[in-house]
Chains A and B, each alone.
Chain A
Amino acid sequence: MPRLNVLLSSLLATALLLVSSMAAAVPAIQNWRTTNGVSVYFIPARELPMVDAQILFNAGSVRDGERPGLAKLTSGLLEEGAGDWSADAIADRFDQVGARFSASSRRDSASVALRSLVDPRYLQPTVETVARLLKEPTFAPDAVERVRQQMLTALRDRAQSPGAIAQDAFYKALYGDHPYAIPPEGTPASLNAITRAEIQEFHRRHYTAANAVIAIVGDLDRPAAEQLANALVGGLPQGEPVPPTPPVPPVKASQTIRIPHPSSQSHILIGQVGVHRADPDYYALYLGNHVLGGNGLVSQLSQEIREKRGLAYGAYSAFSPMRQAGPFLLNLQTRNDQVDTALQVAQTTLREFTTNGPAPQILEEARQNITGGFAVDLAGNSKLASALGGIAFYGLPLDYLQNYISMMNGISLEQVKSAWQRQVQPDRLITVIVGGDQAAPKPAAGS
């Protein structure tokens, strides 16, 4: 085994050298505003004759108010009719030029994404279609009813999934009265109550230039990208910025929620309030979490729960920062009769990590995974577009990608440890367990 250690350190040394030369390969972000004030983020990628564009709005479920599901219903209805085009006409317009379109919404944001060939014969009709469905969706009563029914079916689907039940219970317990507690998928009562007028008003209020950013990656020069941005969002009304999302109060006390479900496994979620996207602690927490549970089989949670004990297929942890503090969440699933053991191992692993911090060598390997894998994370228009969308929506610095590796390299072990001790309190955790009774299963055939 000494042989391997020698090998490893020589490889790691090589990694450090390579990283500096790679930083130069990270593409620069261009940024400007459209005439109506939408901030545009653009990375040219000239190799393939295609373009990806994503438009993000401050229009997620955090804006649902008394009507959980309103943001998602609004987003889902965009492609169901616009101007004098029916849903069928819109579908034809995209498909006959081979364009891809999707609309989605989450807690902070709602977005539309399009992918098209850059040849104007295909791109132009696609852009016209997207611009119109953002600006003039019809929200026809029959479409509202249909998409409402689809969302109600999706809710019933969540009700048969122990993982989804656990997620919903976790967010509810974690966020209490904060709007992040609102389930983006809605509730049956709310979905049934939403009116067409409410949808129209939600759209009028949120799908505006003042609440939008746009991210573009593709085979365009600067003038063509400017033209594209203007064509997509230049026609949006100015609008008023939405009020800021309120800060999230911390969890005050530990709480354990058990929900029975006729499943053979129990889903275990453990966590608390984490950090927001601009929190200076985020990167130290992220780096530390790579050691604890963010780096696949190599992470401590996987090692303890899966590799050493065979208790679960997956055991992970993650910070999911949002505009305000997103959750820190640890997640695993295990056979019902193993819940107590798995829970104990997970809690102990978390407590020891928070108390002691990572071992120096392990931290360096986690750092190498992040920095050495950075080029992989950005390889391809799809991955670049996704990263750029996040930078645009959360207003991260334009040199974020250029600085990422040196920033990661600048975080000390002490910073990791102190950030974890500041942000994670193992004595104040929300724990959710969804699953069947904990009777031992029948002995397996052949064992």
Chain B
Amino acid sequence: MPSPRTMVAAFGLALAPATFAAAPVHEFTLANGLKVLVREDHRAPVAVSQIWYKVGSSYEPSGLTGISHLLEHLMFKGTPTVPGGEFSRLIAANGGKENAFTSRDFTAYFQTMEKERLELSFRLEADRMRHLLLKPEDVTKEAQVVTEERRLRTEDQPEALTQERFHAAAYVTSPYRNPIIGWMQDIQAIRPDDLKHWYQRWYAPNNATLVVVGDVDPAKVRELAEKHFGPLPPSELTPPRLDQEVPQLGERRIVVKTPAEVPYVALGYKAPTFKTAAEDWEPYALDVLDGVLDAGSSGRISRNLIRGSQVAAAAGTGYTPTARLEELFVLEGNPAPGRTSSDLEQALRAEVAKLREELISAEELARVVAQVAATDVYQQDSLFYQAMRLGTLETVGLGWSKFDNYVQRIQAVTPEQVRAVARKYLTDDRLTVATLEPLPLEGRRLSAPAAGMDHAIR
């Protein structure tokens, strides 16, 4: 029976040999500033092509929230040479899957097609990077579609509604206080001119990254990229004012009252990310901490709160270390029948306190490492995910190679470091708590409320 420390080492050696490593990334930059990343994956005769823009809801000023997402919708509405609707029709008629997504820190468009169709993707994406029409009648209609999207995803979803207000309460000055989809009143007030300015400001080759993963030849990809994106002029980029979150001065609490059946509570602690951390290792330690709480059914939340004390019917954690700005480390859940949100909040806080007071066990650490190492292999099964990871890292300014040694960095985290980040960041003065207080479904809403989601998808 090996000691737990030996087991960690054994897992590391076993799961990270070179043969498991993903194919290398080919990187080049066109003269106009467009960065291109290519990874070969020859398992199937297909390729995914994604174009990433450095703009998202966290770039938006007050009054124009949701403009990045609305613009994403309008990107399908036509250019002088490709009329509205034609983009989607052409991709579909060529066997392609396409869509787009907007997040806090990026907007991205993708097509997945048989590999010989890559040029069609490039031609159409290059065209709409600089030549979008933005007709006023399209803006009006698409804003209506987005308000329907907002009703569907946020207004009529008690937990999403609570999460939206939770973020709005947690942040005072950070743009992360605003929902990606935008506040309803902003979506309805954005003018065509606002969109034109937003488009001209951010949609340029020197503010974009093109990522291709699949059964392709990097030299051929380069040739096609030069041909279609090469002629596009760059823009003079003026970075947005970076609104740092002002330091939090004590715990914040909000209640959201809305017709619902199931109570819900969310706790968020201000936490650093790879971009903002004082110490390079801190986000890795928070990642391990996240895993100790909620990686698989063996995590402490499942073990202690769902199975053990049975205070939670469902619960989990969330932390995005790749966020561009200071992030929330979130713990959330639904109390089990007969238990209250307050009971669940206390139980979650007790788990956090334990992490501040005690070292995690070697077995727990080994389990998290094993899962991270295995996941690193599983993720290579998805072309889309591989491209997504490269695009995210590059777009938030970490560089696409940031995670090349991710498994090793996770393996290097110690129990002492996990306790250190818990003590430093998971403290009451950095905490915001939001509680959903269900009103009877027969009742009416108090007022028309609003959203919080990781990605708003077209």
Q: List residues of chain A with CB under 8 Å of any chain B CB.
A: 1, 3-4, 8, 11-12, 14-15, 18, 22, 25, 45, 47-50, 79, 87-88, 90-92, 94-100, 115-117, 119, 121-122, 146, 149-150, 152-154, 156-157, 159-162, 261-265, 295-298, 303, 306-307, 309-314, 333-335, 365-366, 368-376, 378-382, 441-442, 444-447
Q: Out of A264, A295, A444, which one reaches B156, CB within 8 Å?
A: A264
Chain B residues lying within 8 Å of A88, measured Cβ to Cβ, are 298, 303, 307
Verify B94–A50 contact, CB threshold 8 A: no
Interface code B304-346, partner A: CB below 8 Å = 1, 0 otherwise? Answer: 0011001001100000000000000000001011000000000
Closest to A309 in B: B141
Known: A91-B302, A373-B95. A97 touches B85 (CB 8 A): no
Report B305 CB to chain A, min CB distance, Å.
Answer: 12
Closest to B113 in A: A376
Report B360 CB to chain A, min CB distance, Å.
Answer: 14
Counting contact residues on chain B (CB < 8 A from A), the size range is 35 or more
Q: Out of B142, B145, B303, which one reaches A312, CB within 8 Å?
A: B145
Q: List residues of chain B with CB under 8 Å of any chain A CB.
A: 14-15, 19-20, 43-46, 76, 81-83, 85-86, 88-90, 92-97, 99, 112-114, 116-117, 120, 140-149, 151-152, 155-158, 184-185, 188-189, 259-262, 295-299, 302-303, 306-307, 310, 313-314, 334, 336-337, 363, 366-367, 370-375, 377-378, 380-383, 438, 441-445, 448
Verify A22–B114 contact, CB threshold 8 A: yes
Closest to B191 in A: A446
Chain B residues lying within 8 Å of A376, measured Cβ to Cβ, are 44, 46, 95-97, 112-114
A selection of 29 A-B contacts at a CB cut-off of 8 Å is A4-B82, A12-B94, A15-B95, A22-B114, A25-B44, A45-B43, A47-B43, A91-B302, A95-B295, A95-B298, A95-B299, A96-B363, A98-B15, A153-B262, A153-B314, A157-B334, A160-B262, A262-B259, A264-B448, A298-B85, A366-B92, A368-B93, A368-B95, A369-B92, A376-B44, A376-B95, A379-B43, A382-B381, A444-B184
> Complex: how many Å from CA A121 to CA B44?
29
Closest to B264 in A: A157
**Closest 10 A/B residue pairs (Cβ):** A372-B95, A98-B374, A446-B189, A310-B144, A91-B297, A379-B44, A91-B298, A153-B313, A313-B149, A310-B141
Report A168 CB to chain B, min CB distance, Å.
Answer: 14
> Complex: how many Å from CA A11 to CA B116?
10
Chain B residues lying within 8 Å of A378, measured Cβ to Cβ, are 44
Q: Out of B20, B96, B141, which one reaches A49, CB within 8 Å?
A: B20
Known: A298-B92, A379-B46. A156 touches B261 (CB 8 A): yes
Chain B residues lying within 8 Å of A3, measured Cβ to Cβ, are 81
Verify A48–B93 contact, CB threshold 8 A: no
> Complex: how many Å from CA A311 to CA B149?
10
Chain B residues lying within 8 Å of A262, measured Cβ to Cβ, are 259, 441-445
